[in-house]
Structure 1
Amino acid sequence: MTSFGKFIKRFLLAFMLLVVVFHVLVAGLLLIWKTQPINNSMFMLTHRLTGGTVTQTWAEYDAIAKSAKQAAIASEDAKFSQHNGFDLEGIEVARKKNEATGKMSAGGSTITQQLAKNLFLTSHRSYIRKGEEAIITVMIETLWDKQRILTAYLNVAEFGKGIYGIEAAAQHYFHKSAAKLNRDESALLISMLTNPKYYQDNQNDRRLRNKQRIVKKRMNSAALP
């Protein structure tokens, strides 16, 4: 074997070892976070490393208003309580849209997939990241129940510059706890998730308010875990 061949072999072995170590770390954190509050994520860590301040307070499932949980499912993942982490129909729709536009503009991501990205990955769009996201999604769905997944999602989602989690968002925008959010407030906060930093300073944006109305109409049909 040539020197170059040996180098490639060592490189591949080192890369495979790093991949294994990464997934072992992910599994370990998921086991810890199955019962313990999550006060950090890749998105929060990135925000801190770039000099930002993170505001987040953990809220358990029963400390989050029913309307907020309904809004999240109605807006982000209508089949959340039924699927195993992947909405195959949504993925197919996203694939066709991406083929039509020639870029990865749509992801068809479920709540679990978004949680996997927020906790361990970055917002960079690529098929490699989507593949890693899929692996972590399977791990989350295997180790956690649906209530834990929804609770974690609502606690680590970004609602503005440095504002993470539904409790911090409720306090920042409405000066109340997440448990006391009403339907209008819940629908508005969840509608902000598509572009939270922009909507933080543009609360009357027409697209935001239109989505708020749509989410509010769909909330009653959302099946909670």
Structure 2
Amino acid sequence: MGRRKPGRRGIFRSLLAIGVCALLLYELGLFAMIVWYKYQNPGSSAFMAATLQQLRATDPHASLQHRWVPYAQISTTLKRAVIASEDSNFTGHDGVEWSAIRQAWAYNLKQEERGTHRRRGGSTITQQLAKNLFLSDSRSYLRKAQELALAYMLELVMSKRRILELYLNLAQWGTNVFGAEAAARHYYHVGARMLNSYQAARLASMLPNPDYYDRHRDTAYLRRHARIVQRRMHLVDIPGSP
């Protein structure tokens, strides 16, 4: 007797198995990269590469301002300001704060009903690092799910100190400005270790919309928010030991 041809159900199961295996291999590859970045400093990130590509679409000679500096060469004031502004419970959570995500979801639904474009993010610093390092700035449920998975991987492999060091060196702080050192020199002509508390608070306040604040550096909102961040800085914990 000849071999029976697989039916549609069999073909579907085979394709599903192939898809699951491919997904697992992809996730394992990302996990391996996270282990690598625990010890090695990335020269760039997915978000930096995407930004450079966008800039070169209109200017073939465009380049990014970026210079890696060790954690110890970034001022304590900037570390405190960024945590106070972006993720006040950074040292206490496991990478994701579901309550913040739910609050942001409810807030954004209300803004959508009102017809406004103002949105609030519920991402932790770890989630933002996952997005900057590996993903794009697109908005989709699939990308968000991947961001959450990566955040848990980062927290599993790395210390809080290393996560913050990576974040501060890869975060966007201007149209083509990435990392704390480049930001400090771009806005204040000093190194990242020399920032005072108000300068650090202003830089932290720029993080949600760095391209806009690169072009509008002295708005009333930015000044007001920087003062709020400055008052909160002493209330947060920062990671110290590796």
Alignment correspondent of 1:145: 159
In the alignment, the residues of structure 2 paired with residue 38 and residue 187 of structure 1 have an alpha-carbon distance, to the nearest angstrom, of 26
Mapped contact 1:39–1:56 kept (Cα < 8 A): no
Q: Which runs of 5+ in 1 are unaligned?
A: none
What is the one-letter code of the residue matched to 1:153? Answer: Y
Q: Give the aligned partner of residue 173 of structure 1.
A: 187
Question: In the aligned structure 1, how far is the partner of 2:44 from the partner of 2:29?
Answer: 14
Unaligned runs of 5+ in 2: 1-5, 57-61
**Higher gyration radius (CA):** 2
Matches within 5 A, 1:37-76: 37-50=41-54, 51=56, 52-76=62-86
40 and 10 in structure 1: CA distance in 2 versus 1, 3 angstrom threshold: farther
Q: What is the SS of the residue equivalent to 2:138?
A: coil
Could you tell me the TM-score, scaled by structure 2's length? 0.85
Does 172-181 or 14-23 show the bigger shift? 14-23
- 1:99-147 CA deviation, whole Å, 9 max, x = no partner? 4345893331100011111111111112211111110001000000000
Identity of aligned residues (%): 37
Structure 1 length-normalised TM: 0.91
Give 1:120's aligned residue.
Answer: 134
Offset at residue 10 of structure 1 (A): 5.3
Q: Distance in 2 between matches of 1:11 and 1:124?
A: 28
2:22 equivalent among 14, 18, 22: 18
Q: CA deviation at 1:21?
A: 2.7
Q: Deviations over 1:23-82 (max 9, x none)?
A: 222112211211222221110111233324122111111110000000011000010011
Please state how far the C-alpha of 1:11 moved relative to its aligned partner.
4.6
Q: CA deviation at 1:4?
A: 9.1
**Structure 1 counterpart of 2:203:** 189
1:207 aligns with 2:217: no
**Which one-letter code corresponds to 1:35 in the other structure?**
Y
Say yes or no: does 1:36 pair with 2:40. Answer: yes
SS of the counterpart of 1:108? coil
Q: Distance in 2 between matches of 1:164 and 1:20?
A: 31
